[in-house]
């Protein structure tokens, strides 16, 4: 099973209603020049953005976007150039691998490019992913260009709503809140897994935090590390990944454990067990502190493993 990246995902699952709303606005020339997609990481916000961008850029091209089936033709010229980062009508900004933030030099480079003439008459899109990682200087520089964007330039900002963004940035954008129900999350994940979800993953490992992206990444992690995710429950899985330190240098797994800790405590019937209820409050507060102050999570996970999983 190959890894699915938003930039190369040719089929849109579950977000059709948002796509239809966007193309309606674009078709009547009412598309906002500053759009914000906000929602949980893994629901498909970036995929939605790439599909809409392809819809606009491929309008007068061969093999244009198939809006009836919400599908990008993989042989389309705009899709190919976006995929290899050579499309002149798309500027992509994200956190670089070696960085912790989107720094001001990336925004300065963006402004420099926008000051140059366009290669053609097509709209230009600025796609900024993970905007919660913009630092203060980057936001201030970005706000200046957002105030009066150049003609025929459209900003699409993507925010993972587990972190707040500055109100000054939020107020300048039209916010599309991307939300999926639990059943929609599972349906999309099942499609991404070619209808094999129930044959690959134990239902105990799916909770109310699970997005399609989370589920897909979990399955990929299981394949890579040869975990039998169909025949392992939540408790055993937590013990494995904590005791083997699999979460170290893996942000996805670290956040997964945070969510699984709360899910596991809920499963212990908190209302009828005061001891567990007090532990629930203790660990939820500790998780919040670790996230807020960027503390080391290892001691938290070890304590949870000792006191709850093996207690």
> Domain boundary residue among 134, 149, 177?
177
- C-alpha pair distances (Å), 112 with each of 50, 89, 108, 124, 153: 23, 15, 6, 14, 14
Are 129 and 11 found together in one domain? Answer: yes
> What is the full per-residue pLDDT of the chain (311 aa) written as tens digits?
556 799 999 999 999 999 999 999 999 999 999 999 999 999 999 999 999 999 999 999 999 999 999 999 999 999 999 999 999 999 999 998 777 789 999 999 999 999 888 778 999 999 999 998 898 899 999 999 999 889 999 999 999 876 678 888 989 999 999 999 999 999 999 999 999 999 999 999 998 889 999 999 999 999 998 999 999 999 999 999 999 998 887 888 999 999 999 889 888 765 556 566 778 888 989 999 998 888 889 999 999 999 889 87
Are 56 and 123 found together in one domain? Answer: yes
Rounded distance between C-alpha atoms, residue 167 and residue 307, angstroms: 40
> Domain boundary residue among 153, 177, 201?
177
Are 24 and 146 found together in one domain? Answer: yes
Are 55 and 170 found together in one domain? Answer: yes
Are 87 and 151 found together in one domain? Answer: yes
Residue 279, domain extent: 182-309
Are 169 and 201 found together in one domain? Answer: no
Structural domain contains residue 57: yes
Please give the DSSP secondary-structure letter assigned to residue 93. Answer: E
Are 12 and 108 found together in one domain? Answer: yes
Are 37 and 125 found together in one domain? Answer: yes
Are 57 and 203 found together in one domain? Answer: no
Q: Residue 26: which of 4, 64, 60, 59 has the closest Cα? A: 59
Task: Quote the number of domains for the chain.
Answer: 2
Chain centre to alpha carbon of residue 58 = 25
The answer to whether the CB of 264 falls within 8 A of the CB of 238 is yes
Are 193 and 158 found together in one domain? Answer: no
Q: Please count the CA atoms within 13 angstroms of the CA of 59 that sit on its side-chain side.
A: 10
Residues contacting residue 276 through CB under 8 Å, at least 6 positions apart? 265, 268, 269, 270, 308
> Domain boundary residue among 137, 162, 177?
177
Rounded distance between C-alpha atoms, residue 82 and residue 90, angstroms: 7
Give alpha helix (H) positions in 44-193: 45-57, 77-83, 104-114, 136-147, 167-170, 182-192
pTM greater than 0.75: yes
Are 123 and 232 found together in one domain? Answer: no
Structural domain contains residue 65: yes
């Amino acid at each position: 099973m190959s890894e699915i990246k938003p930039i190369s995902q040719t089929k849109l699952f579950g977000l059709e209603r948002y796509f239809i709303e966007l193309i309606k606005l674009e078709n009547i020339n009412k598309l906002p020049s500053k759009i914000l997609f906000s929602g949980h990481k893994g629901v498909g916000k970036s995929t939605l953005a790439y599909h809409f961008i392809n819809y606009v850029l491929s309008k007068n091209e061969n093999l244009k976007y198939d809006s009836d089936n919400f599908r990008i033709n993989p042989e389309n010229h705009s899709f190919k150039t976006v995929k290899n980062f050579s499309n002149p009508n798309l500027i992509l900004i994200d956190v670089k691998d070696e960085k912790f933030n989107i720094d001001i030099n990336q925004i300065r480079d963006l402004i420099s490019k926008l000051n140059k003439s366009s290669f053609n008459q097509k709209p230009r899109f600025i796609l900024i992913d993970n905007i919660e990682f913009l630092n203060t200087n980057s936001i201030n520089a970005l706000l200046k260009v957002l105030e009066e964007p150049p003609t025929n330039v459209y900003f699409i900002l993507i925010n993972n709503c587990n972190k707040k963004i500055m109100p000054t940035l939020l107020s300048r954008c039209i916010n599309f809140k991307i939300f999926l129900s639990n059943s929609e999350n599972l349906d999309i994940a099942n499609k991404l897994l070619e209808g094999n979800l129930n044959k690959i993953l134990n239902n105990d490992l799916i909770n109310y935090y699970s997005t399609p992206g989370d589920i897909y990444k979990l399955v990929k992690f299981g394949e890579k590390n040869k975990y039998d995710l169909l025949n392992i429950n939540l408790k055993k899985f937590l013990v494995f990944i904590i005791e083997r330190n699999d979460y170290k240098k893996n942000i996805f797994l670290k956040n997964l454990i945070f969510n699984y800790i709360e899910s596991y405590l809920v499963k212990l019937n908190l209302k009828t067990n005061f001891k567990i209820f007090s532990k629930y409050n203790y660990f939820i507060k500790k998780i919040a502190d670790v996230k807020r102050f960027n503390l080391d999570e290892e001691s938290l996970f070890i304590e949870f493993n000792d006191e709850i999983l093996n207690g």
